[in-house]
Structure 1
Amino acid sequence: MAEDRVISSDNERVGADETSHGKSTTVRHDKYRYWWLMGYWPLVVVAVTLWAYFASGGNALTALIPITFLFVGTPLIDMIIGEDNDNVADDIADALENDPWYRWIIYAMIPQHYFTFIATIWLVATQSMPLWADIGLIAGVATINGFAIILGHELGHKPKDTLDWTMAKISVGANGYGHFYIEHNRGHHVKVSTPEDCSSARMGESIFEFALRDIPGALIGGVTKEAERLKRQGHGFWTWRNDILQSWSISVAVAVALVVWLGWAVIPFIALHHLISWYGLTQSNYVAHYGLLRGKRANGKYEPCQPRHSWNANHIFSNLMLIDLQRHSDHHANPMRSYPALRNFDDIPRLPWGYLGAMAIANIPPLWFHIMNPKVAEWADGDVTKANLQPRKRDHLIAKYGSKGGDSGAPEGDNAKPVLGPAE
């Protein structure tokens, strides 16, 4: 598939020649138009798991199918299929932005996360699996259902008071993360790759330390920002106009329906599903900006976010699964750009794996540090004072990876206001 996209005769190629390191080229249309339907993989994986469980007579090992697919199968398939550095031409990108196909296939992906969540809770509530199998199944499906947040992420960047915005609330309601797109748009995109951002990981910070900043930080930030917005409009927090409460009400309604149907015993499983799903997003945040820092201008303000402030991955299989989330550099530089039009850049930080492979490695901190810290130092041109450093490890990291003196090395000038998604 990788080779097919690069050399296909039905695409006119324009631009730079390719190299083994991945020079981007330009193609005349999105030949992955129907391959984006791979976004329905959560439904397939959970359906296969249910089938395997009952077909095997209740073999508890089948509960590990989802998590094995995520963190073993997907990275292996990424390695086999390879990467793709092509970009669609600018005029084609404009057409893709306005093509309803790309929006409606995302709308249709949202119900699968409610189905997989409900089916999983039903299975653990009605079948006599050992506790390790219950936890393993919920962990795998909950991480998969973190994809619902990715759908909300895509739709939540569109203008407010549109169907996209409504569908974003419904999507993140599948795992109780209704505060996500508030903090993401008004917080993360403003502060990304700075020490002030709870969702930007610091060099030397383990994923577990990061989770203790990111998860509560996103919740507090989202609630605070929405309360401020409502206050400016003359409303209190507890109002139907509250975008977070609208989404949370969906989550509560589904949870109550499950309790009525299956009993009080499902409450811990519901809570575990949502918490692990939140951690799934945290893993994505961790690998997306690890150690990268926006420099400061002479006036003390941070430089605008650029493609070099996010880790990119062009792995075909996982990008199709995650609707191009891994082309994160262009997303942060141009938040309103839709997923099929996101671009690769030649000189940006690149992960050696797709995001799921990176997430698997991130959960082994010594291995992650061994691989990624030198990459951050290389990104910083051998001066890690230009990186986003974990404060308590700052001296150690500087001693190990080097410093040329100075703080940020950012060019002078006024800081531009970041381009945001939906207006407050």
Structure 2
Amino acid sequence: MNAIHQIETNVPKFKDKKRKLWMLGLVIPNIANAAMLGYQFGPKRTKKFFAVAGPIALHGLIPLIDKFLGEDSENPPEEAIAELEADPYYAKIVNFYIPLQYIANIYGNYIASRDSTPLFDRILIGTTLGLVNGVAINTAHELSHKSGKLQHYLSHLCLAPTGYNHFRIEHPYGHHLRVATPEDPASSQFGESFWKFWPRTVSGSFKSAIEIETRRLERKGLSFWSIHNELLQGWAMSAAYHGLMLKVFGKNIIATQITQSLYGITLFEAVNYMEHYGLKRQKLENGRYERTMPVHSWNNNSLFSNILLYQLQRHSDHHAYPTRSYQALRHYENVPQLPAGYTSLFLQVFIPSYWFSIMDKQVINYYQGDIDKINVYEPAKEAVLQKYNQYFQAQATEAL
């Protein structure tokens, strides 16, 4: 017995090598704050550069750093998960994003409100704030999976600037239930361009959230218009935020506010588009879908973008264990792998022909040429079959 105890105590305790690096998750709002400082006090010729610093960082600088730093080699062992989950340090980092987010929005709206700021610059400032608030939807995502009511309200606080408060309801109770099925508005389909997906997911998720919250309230004998409706609470928070911003800064910020919301939502839905493209849970003999497994999400292990996004790219583990916190998520090798991190794929997503050229054959390969196993966008099915007919046949033959 003593020998066994000695062996167990000699097992080295897991140490999170990224522990201090997680603080980099706060860099996005600080990019915006630094950019607004540069806009306010920098020379006139640099103002537009600072106004659009957010997209420059997202689509240029961050992908370069991601490529340079490469893959994350650390995977926490199963026995370390409980201790990682119990450590309050990680939750504090997530929560601290929120005051930095609001400082960036207040400062950005102040700069946009000045009469000396041209309309075009106000729109550019909106894109930088949109990056902050788009990443804040991911912060809301981390919080929305927690069980505490405080975390849910903090999630709504993150979502207030974009007005995307229905996400707090639809994502954990809708998307996670229907993920990688044709019925899920948040799972992109094979042959579906991002610009077809965007209106489908935004409208479908909004409708789904209303249905989910209506059913929840009905089970409690309450109407949709009850004060206990979390959607109404979230929308009220968003209305209060935008009303206060307009009261304080005036109508000059309208273009900035519209831009930040649209850009932030678009960035987040671009990530949604990448996460499950073409993947499909198969139906069982009883007509129900198989349970969600790691293979129903595209995974990526790029170090820097995972640090910035609370390891959202370890999406396979997230859907297998939805309540698991970001610091405890693990990488899987034997699941569909994206060719690069999210930040490196935004531009490809926005150019459908580019996206299809790098992803379609990966989907076909994964399902060994069996189109019935792929989550196909029905309006594009004939065109897809015609385009990849020989490739489908070759993969199917190779699988035999």
Same fold (TM over 0.5): yes
Q: Amino acid of the residue matched to residue 97 of structure 2?
A: M
Cross-structure match for 1:338: 325
Name which of structure 1's ranges 312-321 and 167-176 shifts more when overlaid on structure 2. Answer: 167-176
State the distance in 1 between where 2:394 and 2:184 align.
25
Cross-structure match for 1:112: 100
Cross-structure match for 1:77: 65
User: Per-residue deviation at 1:335?
Assistant: 0.2
State the distance in 2 between where 1:296 and 1:140 align.
43
State the distance in 1 between where 2:267 and 2:358 align.
21
Cross-structure match for 2:392: 402
User: Do the aligned residues in 2 keep the contact of 1:203 with 1:291 (CA within 8 Å)?
Assistant: yes
- 1:49 equivalent among 11, 14, 35: 35
Cross-structure match for 1:418: none
- With the length of structure 1 as denominator, give the TM-score of the two structures: 0.85
Distance 1:291 1:127, change over 3 A: farther
User: Do the aligned residues in 2 keep the contact of 1:97 with 1:338 (CA within 8 Å)?
Assistant: yes
State the distance in 1 between where 2:178 and 2:82 align.
28
Distance 1:61 1:166, change over 3 A: closer
Cross-structure match for 1:217: 204
Name which of structure 1's ranges 163-172 and 86-95 shifts more when overlaid on structure 2. Answer: 163-172
User: Per-residue deviation at 1:271?
Assistant: 2.8
State the distance in 2 between where 1:133 and 1:268 align.
10
Query: Residue 35 in 1 paired to residue 46 in 2?
Result: no
User: Per-residue deviation at 1:140?
Assistant: 3.1
User: Per-residue deviation at 1:304?
Assistant: 0.8
In the alignment, structure 1 segments of 5+ residues that lack a partner are 1-11, 14-26, 410-424
State the distance in 2 between where 1:327 and 1:208 align.
25
Cross-structure match for 2:141: 153
User: Where in structure 2 are the equivalents of 1:272-283 lying within 5 Å?
Assistant: 272-283=259-270
User: Per-residue deviation at 1:127?
Assistant: 5.1
State the distance in 2 between where 1:51 and 1:32 align.
30
Cross-structure match for 1:20: none
Deviation digits for residues 267-319 of structure 1, max 9, x if unmatched?
A: 34323322222222111100111111111111221111111111111111111
Structure in which a larger fraction of residues adopt helix: 2
Cross-structure match for 1:68: 56
Cross-structure match for 2:352: 365
Deviation digits for residues 23-48 of structure 1, max 9, x if unmatched?
A: xxxx9221111211111112221122
User: Where in structure 2 are the equivalents of 1:179-328 lying within 5 Å?
Assistant: 179-328=166-315
User: Per-residue deviation at 1:240?
Assistant: 2.2
In the alignment, structure 2 segments of 5+ residues that lack a partner are 1-10
User: Do the aligned residues in 1 keep the contact of 2:283 with 2:290 (CA within 8 Å)?
Assistant: yes
Aligned length: 382
- With the length of structure 2 as denominator, give the TM-score of the two structures: 0.90
| Partner secondary structure for residue 193 of structure 1 | coil
Please provide the CA RMSD for this pair: 2.1
State the distance in 2 between where 1:191 and 1:124 align.
41
Q: Amino acid of the residue matched to residue 402 of structure 1?
A: F
State the distance in 2 between where 1:178 and 1:194 align.
23
